[in-house]
Structure 1
Amino acid sequence: MTVPPAVPSFLVGLVVSPLAKRIVRPLARGVLKTSVEVVMDVKKCAKETRQELQGIAAEAAAEMRPRKATNEAVRPEKVEVDSGDGGKTH
């Protein structure tokens, strides 16, 4: 009597399936948990970096405001020079 080729693989599946379930499930859970932790750490780091850059930008803007006001007060007004041609351009 010959056994069809599908029967041995089916029997192996019946035996290995519960064993694989016990091993694969905790392994997959550990991988997913670690992945979630990494994503949360990256988000936290990105948030801190964004806040730091916003603080630097605010400081730079605050430093530029007094300079801009000082430059406008010191800068002479633009004076147009009359070339004597009645405003015509060549």
Structure 2
Amino acid sequence: MLDDFRVGGEAYRDALDLAGIGPSPLEQFTILPLIPIKIGDFSFSFTNPSLFMMLTLGLVLLLLSFMMKGGGGEVSAKCLAILGRAYS
């Protein structure tokens, strides 16, 4: 991609090698299998996006449990007001 802008040369390539980065900015979005699971031709691996989805779900459930604590499963009016303001 940077070659389209005529960026290149030996110094450019040396700088990339020293920095330890590749020329493609899309490498940061690489999906890495953390726990590889293969059954036949199918891959059911636990990947880095799966990890962040599980962390997000855990944080949301933890937040909901704190909001409903002591109310018998009911969300307090104060919490609903905060959520209403966050939504709008």
Normalising to structure 2: TM-score of the pair? 0.30
Q: Which has the higher helix share?
A: 1
**Greater RCO, CA 8 A, separation 6+:** 2
Say which one has the larger Rg: 1
Q: Which has the higher strand share?
A: 2
Normalising to structure 1: TM-score of the pair? 0.29
